[in-house]
Amino acid sequence: MRMHKAMTNLEIAELLRAVAAAYQLQSESKNRFRIIAYQRAADSVEHSSSELKDLWDEGKLNEIAGIGPSISKHLDELFKKGSSSHFSQVMKGLPPQMFELMIIPGIGAKTAYKLVTEFGSKISEKNPIGDLEELAKEGKISTIENFGQESEKDILRSIAEVKGRSKRHLLPYADRIADEVIEWLKKENEVLKADPLGSLRRCASTVGDVDIAVATKNPQKVLNHFTKFPKAQRILEKGGATSSIVVPSDMQVDLMVQPQDRYGALLQHFTGSKHHNIALREFALKKNYSLSEYGIRKRGAKGLKKFATEESFYNFLGLDWIPPELREDTGEIKAALNHQLPKLVEVREIKADLQIHSSFDVETSHDLGESSMEEIVNKANSMGYEYVAFTEHNPSHSRHSEGQIVDILRRKKEAIAKLNESIKGVKSIKGAKRVYNSLEIDILPSGKLPVTEKGLETLDFALVSIHSSFRLSKSQMTKRVISGLMHPKVKIFAHPTARKLTQREGIDLDWEKIFDFCIKHDIWVEINCDPMRLDLPDFLVKEAVGLGIKLTLGTDSHHVDHMDNMEFGVSVARRGWAEKKDIINTRSLEEFEKMIK
DNA sequence: GCCGTTTTCGGCCCGACTGTTTTCAGTCG
């Protein structure tokens, strides 16, 4: 039998969306909710933290919300045979081009189908979007029934948008822009309150648009002031309650304005996430309430209950206020109902930075830090830390003999001993009482570590991580990592997925096995605070926390300024429901010292 | 087609915008 390459979650989600689109073309009204069911299943599959194929192997498909007996049956066939007769049947006769056209904003199933059937082979399978663009430019679209000049222009605009679709932005850039906009807004006296919204407020690892809420009695004046933001390159729209501008890096900034007595509902609605809001409205519906960005309405009754704060909004529904980082529909509503929300870890509780690269020359083949050990200790002092760990990359084993590597590591050990000597007993100095001698060691593709026993002996503890051969199979990669974690000096598995946001996907690992090993051998898992990594990712943090795995925060700083990125790592921890107890570097120096021995 | 601390049957999130329309369908966030 021919082996099919297992479909990824994203591919399965696309397939389910295609099935939903196919049902949309059938006009029977009973399909209405079936369409929604398929779209929901697609969303859930896309956001699932485990590969669907693995769940299927274990007979756990039903654990995915939105997958019931019927879809489950079709997926079973899909995994067994490589296709599903039911899905094929539903999509029979539909032109494949239409699914690609649906990428274009404003074009849904019906519009896509109509366009493809109308123009036939003029919209090719090879380049449907390009062909549609040509047709629009030639003015052919506006000749079709129910399409006019405006829809033609819309299609051209949207295609241009898809082509130049700017990537999502890293969290710190969005954060900085939002700060600047809010600072600018507050220069206008009519601005009573201003806060970021959306994925930025939820501290997602990447952000599309920046959305900002303002409470005011004078919307027009605020919106006018907003469009004069000095860095605004373009004004996209300016309405009565919203306005949009574009700032450098092609970032869109939207402003939403409401009177102060409705500000709570506004914040709640536009903070999202979409899935959280849907779940919340379904919850409210059972109590016969209908929610919107304006407030809460009793179903069938007139009048709107307004909310000045989000706390009062959630409390009205019988829920505790839910921190924005948790609003992803992963159980937070139930927890809020039962008063069982976690007490999330906070930046001020962090007492150490457990991944820093100094400029001490360990003659590594990777990048060295730019700041001296002394500069870093001073910075740690100013941040109120009690300890730090120096974790330069291991010395290059291709350029040095084993003996030379040990010599280098001994020199580093001496330097750190001296540094500790110079600050030991100075009780009046807050922070950085202890400097730990560590090393970030590559896990080679073989699973071996490129530092010998004698070299490892010089360390207080070691971090290990992946920096090469990212595309090994899941089983090989899992074996490699576990082998790398074996040595007793190894305490921390650093940037575990090795992903680079907007650049590179993470490696393929059997997380159940990895986490299991970490629990049994008391290995800690890092949340790397580098904004381009934010690794362990939030959904895996949540799994790890659920299993009782201990996490560490490390900024991976290569310059003292990078040490300020700690807050972004804390955001990831919070998104993963982590409390103070789950994070190793909330421990005092005394506690940490005991744990490391 | 899914789902259940009011339901295993009878429900299923909300509002806005847009264009092509004389009352609405399609799409989006």
**What domains are defined for chain A?**
9-163 (no CATH), 166-258 (3.30.460.10), 275-341 (3.30.210.10), 347-596 (3.20.20.140)
Q: Which nucleotides of B are covered by protein (CB under 7 A)?
A: 1-3, 6-7, 11-15, 17-21, 25-29
SS3 A39: helix
The first and second tokens of residue A106, run together, are 């404003």
Count of alpha carbons within 13 angstroms of residue A459, beta-carbon side: 28
How many other C-beta atoms lie within 10 A of the C-beta of residue A557? 26
The first and second tokens of residue A181, run together, are 């906009």
> How far apart, in whole angstroms, are the C-alpha atoms of residue A243 and residue A568?
28
Q: Of the candidates A548, A549, A554, which has an alpha carbon nearest to the alpha carbon of residue A523?
A: A549
> How far apart, in whole angstroms, are the C-alpha atoms of residue A587 and residue A154?
56
Give the residue ranges of DSSP H helices in A344-452. 373-382, 402-423
> How far apart, in whole angstroms, are the C-alpha atoms of residue A353 and residue A86?
54
Mean pLDDT by 10 residues, chain A (597 residues): 63 92 80 89 84 87 89 93 92 91 90 92 90 91 87 87 75 92 94 94 92 92 90 79 82 90 95 92 91 89 90 95 95 94 97 94 83 92 92 85 87 91 55 81 93 92 92 90 95 95 83 95 97 94 96 95 96 97 95 90
Which nucleotide across the nucleic acid strands is nearest to A111, CA versus C1'? B26
List for chain A the helix, strand, coil content (%; round to 5).
Answer: 45, 15, 40
> How far apart, in whole angstroms, are the C-alpha atoms of residue A553 and residue A462?
15
- Cβ neighbours for A383, distance < 8 A, ≥ 6 positions apart: A353, A431, A563, A566
Torsion of CA A528, A529, A533, A534, to 10 degrees: 90
- Cβ neighbours for A57, distance < 8 A, ≥ 6 positions apart: none
Smallest CA–C1' distance to B29, residue: A274
To which residue do tokens 């997602």 refer? A204
pLDDT of res. A85: 93
Q: Of the candidates A174, A10, A168, A44, which has an alpha carbon nearest to the alpha carbon of residue A571?
A: A174
User: B2 C1' – A119 CA distance, angstroms?
Assistant: 37
C-alpha A162: how far from its chain's center?
Answer: 22
User: B4 C1' – A6 CA distance, angstroms?
Assistant: 34
Q: Tell me the residue type at A260.
A: Q
Are residues A563 and A380 in contact, defined by beta-carbon separation less than 8 angstroms?
yes
User: B18 C1' – A111 CA distance, angstroms?
Assistant: 14
User: B3 C1' – A290 CA distance, angstroms?
Assistant: 20
- CA triple A495-A500-A503, angle to 5 deg: 165
> How far apart, in whole angstroms, are the C-alpha atoms of residue A450 and residue A400?
11
- Cβ neighbours for A289, distance < 8 A, ≥ 6 positions apart: A296, A297, A298, A299, A317
Smallest CA–C1' distance to B25, residue: A110
The first and second tokens of residue A389, run together, are 């760990």
